């Protein structure tokens, strides 16, 4: 890339862009010299399966309030995958992490199964810190799409191998078995992770709240052997893990960080056609969004983006509902193809207004970080 003449890079860059992006890119280019970078950190919050009705139901269930009301900029993204109109979480997350439309099931690879560098990998290359927190397993499609490159989301052992070799500085999620009880005779990954600089432990050894990350090491904690519990059944680590992630990532370096926090199980409530499951998962996620906003407000250099990969369940709030007693109907046990809201707060938030493809979220984050 460095041998390509500059004018050609500029030409290619602009010729691939849509009008909206071009305008903002010009602004970015004109301020790159001597102007301090405004966006130091990005926190991307993904509510898996969180469409507008999931948000509405969660909002009404909390006395007509949600943290999302604090966001000054709102956009909509088009969630379709390369091979299906209705996306899955792998193609959906890969659109955000890599900026490519790919097929359902793809993890950090394009439609021809070629690996594509992720926003997290790009951030790490710039000397920034990176983190992932999820209420699914950490090898599940959404978090995996930020550090792994695999033709199938189901190759959990290979995805775990990728995490072990990765430069993710901080992660918390379920899925201990993919690191310690592996199908083949390959070694327990904890050992190789420790030699790769990780302080790694799990729910079996201690509770997350009793652990203090060693800031000189990378940090990993596995919260369950496989899938973590629903929040209504006692899972409680996601707010704490999110708080610890920010503290860890913000403490170590002055080059900024990229953090992805996933409310993974809003989607699972949708698949189960269980409105209470959807709402309880949303309510927890909404609290985390509020905490993240508090940090971003104090920090002043953090861009916060909240979105979903797709809607799940075709959820509708029925006519007989009251705010205290919501009646739900579902049209599907899978995902649907409706456009998905994007909420942005902080420096460069305004570039997230409008209607655009899900892949644009990647390019907008690159622009905000001033990555080339
Ligand atoms: Mg997910
Ligand atoms: Zn799903």
Pick the range with the lowest mean pLDDT from 8-22, 72-86, 120-134: 8-22
**Domain contains 11:** no
**Domain contains 194:** yes
Q: What is the CATH number of the domain that holds 342?
A: 3.40.720.10
Question: How high is the mean pLDDT of the chain?
Answer: 91
**Domain contains 27:** no
CA 97 to ligand 1 centroid distance, Å: 13
Domain extent for 187: 72-255+298-357
CA 143 to ligand 2 centroid distance, Å: 14
Nearest ligand to residue 309 Cα:
1
Task: Report helix, strand or coil for 168.
Answer: coil
Catalytic residues: 89
The phi and psi torsions of 117 (rounded to 5 degrees) equal -60, 135
**Domain contains 128:** yes
Measured distance CA(299)–CA(291) in Å, rounded: 12
Of 271, 247, 346, nearest in space to 306 by CA: 346
What percentage of the chain reaches a pLDDT higher than 70? 88
Total domain count for the chain? 1
For every residue of 246-281, DSSP letters joined together read: HHHHHHH-SS-EEEEEEETTHHHHHHTT-HHHHHHH
User: CB–CB of 305/343 below 8 Å?
Assistant: yes
Nearest ligand to residue 92 Cα:
1
Given the DSSP bridges, would you call strands 311-312 and 335-336 parallel, antiparallel or unpaired?
A: antiparallel
Measured distance CA(169)–CA(147) in Å, rounded: 11
pLDDT tens digits, one per residue of 290-342: 999 999 999 999 999 999 999 999 999 999 999 999 999 999 999 999 999 99
The phi and psi torsions of 105 (rounded to 5 degrees) equal 105, -15
Nearest ligand to residue 227 Cα:
1
CA 273 to ligand 1 centroid distance, Å: 17
DSSP assignment letter at 107: B
Nearest ligand to residue 104 Cα:
2
**Domain contains 268:** no
Residue 254 is predicted with a pLDDT of: 82
Residue 11 is predicted with a pLDDT of: 42
Give rounded-to-5 percent helix, strand, coil for the chain.
Answer: 40, 20, 40
User: CB–CB of 140/264 below 8 Å?
Assistant: yes
CA 89 to ligand 2 centroid distance, Å: 6
**C-alpha angle 279/335/331, rounded to 5°?**
75
**Domain contains 363:** no
Mean pLDDT, range 117-122, rounded to an integer: 98
**Domain contains 221:** yes
The whole-model pTM stands at 0.90
CA 334 to ligand 2 centroid distance, Å: 6
Which residues contact residue 278 at a Cβ distance below 8 angstroms, ignoring those fewer than 6 apart?
49, 54, 57, 58, 266, 269, 270, 313, 315, 328
**Domain contains 55:** no
The tokens 């592996």 sit on which residue? 182
Give how far Cα 362 sits from Cα of 19, 192, 226, 352, 367, Å: 17, 31, 29, 11, 9
The phi and psi torsions of 364 (rounded to 5 degrees) equal -70, -35
pLDDT tens digits, one per residue of 11-36: 444 444 433 333 344 343 444 444 55
Cβ burial of 112 (10 Å; 0-12, 13-18, 19+) is exposed
CA 82 to ligand 1 centroid distance, Å: 18
Higher pLDDT, 353 or 9: 353
């Amino acid at each position: 890339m460095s041998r390509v003449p500059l004018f050609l890079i500029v030409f290619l860059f602009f010729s691939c862009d849509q009008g909206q992006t071009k305008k903002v890119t010009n602004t970015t280019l004109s301020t790159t010299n001597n102007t301090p970078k405004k966006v130091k950190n990005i926190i991307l919050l993904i509510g898996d399966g969180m469409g507008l009705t999931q948000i509405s139901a969660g909002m009404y269930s909390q006395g007509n309030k949600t943290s999302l009301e604090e966001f000054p900029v709102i956009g909509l993204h088009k969630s379709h995958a390369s091979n299906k109109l209705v996306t899955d979480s792998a193609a959906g997350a890969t659109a955000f992490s890599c900026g490519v439309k790919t097929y359902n099931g793809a993890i950090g690879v394009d439609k021809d199964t070629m690996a594509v560098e992720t926003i997290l990998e790009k951030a790490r290359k710039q000397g920034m810190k990176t983190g992932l927190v999820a209420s699914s397993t950490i090898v599940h499609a959404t978090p995996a799409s930020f550090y792994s490159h695999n033709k199938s989301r189901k190759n959990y052992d290979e995805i775990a191998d990728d995490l072990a070799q990765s430069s993710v500085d901080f992660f918390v999620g379920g899925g201990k078995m993919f690191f310690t009880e592996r199908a083949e005779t390959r070694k327990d990954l904890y050992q190789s992770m420790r030699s790769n600089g990780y302080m790694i432990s799990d729910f079996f050894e201690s509770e997350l709240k009793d652990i203090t990350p060693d800031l000189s090491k990378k940090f990993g904690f596995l919260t369950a052997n496989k899938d973590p519990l629903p929040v209504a059944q006692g899972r409680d680590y996601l707010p704490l893990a999110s708080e610890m992630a920010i503290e860890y990532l913000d403490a170590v370096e002055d080059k900024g960080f990229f953090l992805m926090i996933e409310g993974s199980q809003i989607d699972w409530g949708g698949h189960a056609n269980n409105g209470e499951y959807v709402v309880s998962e949303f309510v927890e996620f909404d609290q985390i969004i509020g905490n993240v906003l508090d940090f971003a407000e104090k920090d002043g250099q953090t861009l916060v983006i909240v979105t979903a990969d797709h809607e799940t369940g075709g959820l509708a709030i029925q006519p007989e509902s009251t705010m205290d007693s919501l009646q739900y109907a579902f049209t599907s046990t899978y995902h649907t193809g409706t456009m998905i809201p994007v909420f942005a707060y902080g420096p460069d938030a305004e570039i997230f207004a409008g209607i655009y493809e899900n892949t644009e979220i990647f390019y907008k984050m690159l622009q905000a970080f001033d990555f080339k």
